[in-house]
Amino acid sequence: MEETTKIAISAGIQVGGSLFTPEQFAKIGSVVGTDATIEMTPFKQLYADVPLERREVIKDELERYGLEVYPAGFVTKSLIACNFCKGAEEAGLDTASALNSAIAGIETPTPLKIGYAGCALGTSEPLLKDIGVIKMRNTFDIYVGGEPKGLKTSFAKLVVSGLSEDRLIPAVIALIHFYKANAKGKEKFSKFVDRVSLEQLRQIAG
């Protein structure tokens, strides 16, 4: 039996949210095959099983159609961004795209969801993500430890505010790597935040 692997497919960061074209859907269908199932995940990625030996070829084909392909499983998911309703420039679409390129696909102890909102409306629900980024005029605030599942949901807590654009990506990367280095086994990020304390995370991100 042919060995398969799961890939995560994203439409990319753009005004209007996760928008796919008919051509992109047709291409996805053609490369995964008529017998495959495609899962829509809560983090705006499509999961599909593909033959392991053809993974890179399929990745290249999908990327030529403007799609993004990432590993599935215990990794940082592609950025869950807002719809940029205030416009690409004001809401920081270029910054969000750069952040996505920097963080998507990093191996982590558990799947890590990072949200981005271009204003305080927070339509991408960044406070329910493991790490949430909110653009506040010309600076950025970072929140950590959101927990959307179960009966004890909780909002992420502010860990650093007023970051300039050039400090945003290094701060988020530092938080991810600190989690990787110090998590206990498959410790969820929200539990990790509670254990290590906001004060310590502020030193890492600041």
What is the mean predicted confidence (pLDDT) over 106-126? 96
How far apart are the C-alpha atoms of 109 and 192, rounded to whole Å? 11
| Per-residue pLDDT tens over the stretch 119-144 | 999 999 999 999 999 999 999 999 99
CA nearest neighbour of 138 among 92, 99, 97: 92
Asked if residue 151 has pLDDT above 90, the reply is no
Could you say which of 23, 41, 71 is where a domain stops? 71
* pLDDT score recorded for residue 66: 96
pLDDT computed for residue 150 by the predictor: 79
Among 38, 71, 104, give the residue marking a domain's end. 71
Judge if 60 and 114 occupy the same domain: no
> Taking all residues of the chain, what is their mean pLDDT, rounded to a whole number?
94
Total domains, the chain: 2
Tell me the average pLDDT across 175-192: 97
User: Looking at the structure, do residues 144 and 179 belong to the same domain, yes or no?
Assistant: yes
> Which of 95-104, 149-158, 169-178, 184-193 is predicted with the least confidence, judged by mean pLDDT?
149-158
Q: What CATH number is given to the structural domain containing 39? A: 3.30.70.870
pTM metric for this prediction: 0.93
Expressed as residue numbers, the domain containing 17 is 4-71
pLDDT at 173 exceeding the cut of 70: yes
- Statement to judge: residues 87 and 122 lie in one domain: yes
Residues 63 and 90 in one domain: no
pLDDT in tens, 1-41: 678 999 999 999 999 999 999 999 999 999 988 888 899 99
Reported as type and span, the H/E element at residue 38 is strand 38-40
Q: Which of 71, 92, 125 is the last residue of a domain?
A: 71
- Residue 1 has a pLDDT of 67
Residues 98, 151, single domain; the answer is yes
Q: What's the pLDDT at 7?
A: 96
The structure tokens 């995370």 sit at 201
The HSE-up count of residue 165 (CA atoms within 13 Å, CB side) is 13
Same-domain pairing of 85 and 178: yes
